[in-house]
A = this chain, B = another copy of it.
Amino acid sequence: MIKMSQPVELTLPQPYLLFLGDERDPAHAKTAFGLRDWARASCIGEYALPESTVTTGLPRFTPEDAYRSGARSMVIGVAPAGGALRSTWIPALKAALEAGLDLISGMHGRLADTETLGATAQRLGRQLHDVRRPPAGIPVASGRPRTGRRLLTVGTDCALGKKYTALSIARELRARGVEADFRATGQTGILIAGGGIPIDAVVADFVAGAAELLSPDAAADHWDIVEGQGSLFHPAYAGVSLGLLHGTQPDVIVVCHDPSRHEVAGHPGFPIPALEEVIAQNLALGGRTKATIRCAGVSLNTSKMSEADAQACLLNYSTRLQLPCADPIRGGPALARLIDAVLGGA
C-alpha cells in the first residue's frame, strides 16, 4: 500500500508471504498484523505451522504456492519472547528458500548465523535480509537543502505512535491526491514500506547522513513522511532523535504524545516534558538545518480512552496549544484539520 518512490539502499523483495511459525499468542504477531493493516497489497498471504493458532485472516499458502502466486520473500511475522529464531521454524524457513523465496527478519540475531539457513541461501543464491542491519556506505550528512517537502513525526517519548501517525498522514495525503511516501526508520516500518534505514542501528556519526539518504531530493510538491524515533528528552536516545531531526530537514513536524503517560517508559524519575517545551525545542534545534520548520499539530494516542473522553482530550489539548490535535487511529474531522495544517502553511 505505502510504497517508496525512490529506493534507499535497503530494499526488500515484495510481495511478502507472512510466516507465523508455531505461534499461539496473537500479542507476538504484531509484525504480521502491522503488515496486514498497513501493507495489505504487499502481502500475498500467510503460512503457519500446524501448531499455530494465530491467523491474520489472509489466504493460506505453502511457500511453493506463494512463490507461484508471485511472492518473492517470506517475512518472519512473529516475535516470541526473547526475540530469537525458534529451532522449530528452521525446516519451514529452509523450505521457503528452496521454494524460491528470500527470507526477511526484523529480529536481533542474523539469519545467516543459523548455519542451515546461511548454507541453503548461499547454495541457492537467495538473500537473507536482516532489516535491523543498516546498509553499508551511509555518508556523513552534508546539511545541503533538498527539493521536495518533508514531515517528521517527533515525540514526547518512545513507543507512543510516531510510526502509526506517519503512516496515517501519508495515507491521508495520498487520499487527497498528494504525492506522499512513508519513510521508515525502524524495523516494523521498514517491513511495511519495503525499505528504509534502521536509524538507531546506524553508527552515531552517520545518523544525520542516513536521514538525508532516506528522504532525498524530490518533486517540489512531493511529501516524504518520515517515521520519528525516540525523543529529544529521552535520557538514552535523544541523540538519535536530534540526528534524525537535523538530517530530515523537515518543513513540518507533528508531535506525538500519550496523555496517559507521565514518566519516560523504562526510565522512572524522568517526567514526560510539557508539549509546549517539546514543540519549542524541536523547532529551535530543527531550525538549524531548516529555518522555516513549523509544527502542524499534535497526534494524541487516546487508545486507552472512551470515545467521549478522547474527544474531550483532543479538544482540551487543541485549545491549550492552539494547534490541531487528532488521534489518527480515530480519524474524523480532527484528523482532517491536522492534514489541512500540514499542507496549509502556517
Chain A residues with CB under 8 Å of chain B are 140-143, 199-205, 207-209, 232-233, 235-244, 246, 267, 269-270, 281, 284-285, 288-289
Q: Which of A199, A201, A208: most chain B CB closer than 10 A?
A: A208
A232 CB → nearest B CB, Å: 7
- Contact assessment for A141 and B233 in the assembled complex, using a CB-CB cutoff below 8 Å: no
Contacts of A235 in B (CB 8 A): 141-143, 208, 246, 288-289
- Contact assessment for B285 and A143 in the assembled complex, using a CB-CB cutoff below 8 Å: no
A159 CB → nearest B CB, Å: 14
- Contact assessment for B143 and A205 in the assembled complex, using a CB-CB cutoff below 8 Å: no
6 additional contacts, CB 8 Å, given A143-B267, A208-B235? A142-B267, A143-B236, A202-B204, A232-B242, A238-B242, A239-B239
Q: How far is the CA of A199 from the CA of B205 in the complex (A)?
A: 9
- Contact assessment for B208 and A239 in the assembled complex, using a CB-CB cutoff below 8 Å: yes
A241 CB → nearest B CB, Å: 8
Query: Which of B209, B246, B269, B289 lies in contact with A143, CB distance below 8 A?
Result: B269
Q: How far is the CA of A266 from the CA of B241 in the complex (A)?
A: 23
Contacts A143-B269, A267-B142 given; does A207 touch B239 at CB 8 Å: yes
Contacts of A142 in B (CB 8 A): 235-236, 267
- Contact assessment for B239 and A243 in the assembled complex, using a CB-CB cutoff below 8 Å: yes
- Contact assessment for B240 and A288 in the assembled complex, using a CB-CB cutoff below 8 Å: no
- Contact assessment for A203 and B205 in the assembled complex, using a CB-CB cutoff below 8 Å: no
- Contact assessment for A205 and B240 in the assembled complex, using a CB-CB cutoff below 8 Å: yes
- Contact assessment for A236 and B141 in the assembled complex, using a CB-CB cutoff below 8 Å: yes
Contacts of A284 in B (CB 8 A): 281
